[in-house]
A and B are shown apart, each in its own frame.
Chain A
Amino acid sequence: MPAALAFDRITKVFPDGTHALADATFAVDEGEFVTVVGPSGCGKSTLLRIASGLTPATGGKLTVTDPNLGYTFQDATLLPWRTVGKNVELLCELHRVPKAERAKRAQDAINLVGLSGFENFYPKALSGGMKMRASLARSLTLKPKVFLFDEPFGAIDEITRERLNEELMRLFLREKFAGLFITHSIYEAVYLSTRVLVMSARPGRIIASFAVPFPYPRSPDLRFEPAFAELTGKVNHALRSAHA
């Protein structure tokens, strides 16, 4: 599989001297779902900001085969003055997609994330999980080839989070985007991904890589199987050494 997104010795030093990334090298192939775990403040989010072009890297080479990127932020970043339907239409609006097509794509995306019936709700009436679904739907309207997730479910309770993980996996299998996912949760990382990368404390480097062998679609009960526990244990050990 060719790489959809490749980092080649990417470094990032902020103007205040903070050394966020040092020689980060890895690739996300097409059809792959890669998760990065690492200590707080190790530059995981910076990785995504560089991949999307929001922040320029100070060194190294970034290769993005398709500029059509989806990006889900830590919070849903919905616009409170727009209804769910209008929020989901926003990106198509910014890219000047004609009105009828825009409405159709928004409706499809809303159905896909299970928010049908909530189109006319304002964000303030939604729970955290529903806001995140709306945010996912918004990105889906552009049918991204590469999807970046910056700890999207970090602030959501565990049960809802597991459910959203299962739905995200369904989306991944159906839409076939390449995923780059940032999280603090090892369980989430192993459950979702084809590969888990462990990042060191700042300046961030990739210090370990684990292939996840479980076939898709994965059952929710996979989380309680011994092989799953064994792998999360290994990732946990690598992460502990990253903190040191």
Chain B
Amino acid sequence: MSEHRNDGPGAESRGRHAIRSADRAPAPGSGGPIAIIGQEELQAKSATASPRRNILRDAMPPAIVFILFLLAWAGYRTFVLDRFKRRIVPLPWTVLTRGFTTAGASKKNPSELITGIKITTQVAVTGLVIATIVGVMLAVLMSTRKWVENSVYPYAVALQTIPIIAIAPIINIILGSGLGARIFTCVVISIFPIIINTLFGLKSADAGQHDLFTLHEAGFFTRLFKLQFQAALPSMFEGFRISAGLSVIGAIVGEFFFSQGPRGLGILIDIYKSRGLYNALFAAIILSSMLGLVVFFAVTWLRKIVIGRWYQAAR
């Protein structure tokens, strides 16, 4: 059939006639021209599926950037900083050899950092989950009525703009200075992108699809779950991805203000700074940013599992 499609313009009438005679094939779907287009597309897709060795190729560029960064860091420290500052800023490899181990820091340092990761992860993940639940529920409410959206919107924006340092004393009075206050801080910092992206997503189902559901008398929840939420998933996941990074920032910022209870990475950063343990300080900072990456990529992976089959950008 594809030969007919390749006919030059001069052979137009001949090609046209050939296809039209195929049109009269009695059994529909037995392989007309339309069906063949579909199969071609399918083959193209399986050909581009990535084999495992691509991982190496994908990992190369960021690895090179990382090495360049370390060299720039070392160069800056060695040739630009004066002697006094050089004591504070360690060489990258010293951080690796000493910051993560007991050498040059307190004796229980390694286990301290591991506990720190656990605590901060707990706060960040709990905060992210709460932000997701509350944020999505708020967005659903806002999507139902324009006046709800208008009345809630300014406060959602305020959550984003208000400095935590300004409300820290109030949080302290109400929630104390432990894990609860940290989780609250984390929620405040990470909820805004979830609300906004979910709201945008819920409104993104097209008018024709809404007509279809109206025509067949779909109720509020049927429309919400079978149409709006499904259509919203791609942008909801964009919100979750942004908030994933923010939740780690929120957890660490929370630890700076609310340091009672178990020690997370934020508290360790504070302690190392005041005790002059600079290798360990840099190690804790590196772990914090790695934690942000891990949470971000975990959400990205989740997105692939949930919508990767039909949403191109999520593959």
Contacts and interface: CB of A to CB of B under 8 A. Distances in A.
A114 B215 contact: no
A54 B38 contact: no
B222 A54 contact: no
Interface string B11-37: 000001001100110011110111101
Contact of B218 (A71, A94, A125): A94
Given A81-B230, A81-B310, A220-B23, A130 B222 contact: no
B234 to A, nearest CB: 9
A160 B227 contact: no
B307 A81 contact: yes
Interface string B175-218: 00000000000000000000000000000001011011111111
A40 to B, nearest CB: 18
Interface in A84-130: 90-91, 93-95, 111-118, 121-127, 129-130
Interface in B62-89: none
Contacts of B54: none
B38 A126 contact: yes
A208 interface: no
Interface string A161-203: 0110011000000000000000000000000000000000000
B41 interface: yes
Contacts of A94: 213, 216-218, 222, 226
A73 interface: yes
Nearest to A54: B211
A160 B309 contact: no
B257 to A, nearest CB: 42
A172 to B, nearest CB: 14
A118 B37 CA distance: 12
Q: Secondary structure at chain B's binding surface: helix, strand, loop or mixed? A: helix
B45 interface: yes
B201 to A, nearest CB: 12
Contacts of A41: none
A52 interface: yes
A159 interface: yes
Interface string B113-143: 0000000000000000000000000000000
A60 interface: no
Nearest to A167: B28
Contacts of B30: 114
Contact of B42 (A112, A125, A160): A125
Nearest to A138: B212
Given A81-B310, A122-B309, A126-B38, A114 B29 contact: yes
Interface string A56-90: 00000000000001010111010111100000001
Interface in B237-280: none
B165 to A, nearest CB: 43
B38 A130 contact: yes
25 contacts: A54-B214, A69-B215, A71-B215, A73-B212, A75-B208, A77-B206, A79-B230, A79-B231, A80-B310, A81-B231, A91-B216, A94-B213, A94-B217, A94-B222, A95-B216, A114-B35, A122-B310, A124-B312, A125-B38, A125-B45, A127-B38, A130-B35, A160-B33, A166-B23, A220-B24
Going nearest first, the 6 A-B pairs with the smallest beta carbon separation are A114-B28, A114-B29, A77-B208, A94-B216, A127-B37, A163-B23
